[in-house]
Amino acid sequence: MEKDLYRSLRNATISNRLNVALCDAYKNCPDLFGIVKCIENYIIMVKTNNIDALTFYVALFLNLSLFNKNRNEYSIAYLYLQRAVETALIYHFLDNDIIEVNDYGGLSFKGDVNEIHGVGELIKEFFARSKDNDLSKKIWKLNSLRNKMLLAHGYYTPSGVDYDDLYCAVKEFVLNIISSEEPKAFYEKILNGLKPIGKEKIKKELSFALLNN
């Protein structure tokens, strides 16, 4: 695996600043404890150049999507849902040696000089290899919805009418892609442990921790 891809996983904010800022407080904050442990596991994977670290982002995007759905920010929720699909596909194709990092830092299918442009190419390739008409329709529906949105390429502001169905479809899609037990366990640990916390709850937890230190 090329160094550039792994360098992109080494997010300084995640691996350094956030970890340092939380380390003194999380002992008295159960919610923060789970977050810190997830980040620590992620850092270990990145340092060992383990491609499974990409599943960290898949779970993170799913949780950010659900967080924004609960705030009725459906445009942002759908964008994160699509990023979860895209990142899961990149993980799957890299893990199975189907795509590679080219000389320009982009992604190409093995043996193809043309760079991959857009998640649509990845979706098309995946369902050409894995026949699942019902799941395919839902993933393509999400892709189409995302493309029509004001935050992407169009002028559409979506409602939440399709969200729950598409969210469940993406979770099923991800579990189909992450087939090995170890990365699947890591993904589920992140999905359950790395959940966004509201600003007020963070203030409350940190205030309590500081008062008890």
- pLDDT tens track for 107-133: 888 888 788 888 889 999 999 988 788
- pLDDT tens track for 39-51: 888 888 888 888 9
- Mean pLDDT along residues 97-112: 85
Half-sphere exposure of 15 (CA within 13 A, CB side): 15
Whose structure tokens read 């992604």? 107
pTM above threshold 0.85: no
Average pLDDT, the chain: 81
pLDDT bin (cut points 50, 70, 90) of residue 200 is low
Cβ pair 8, 56 in contact under 8 A: no
Nearest residue to 196 via CA among 12, 18, 15: 18
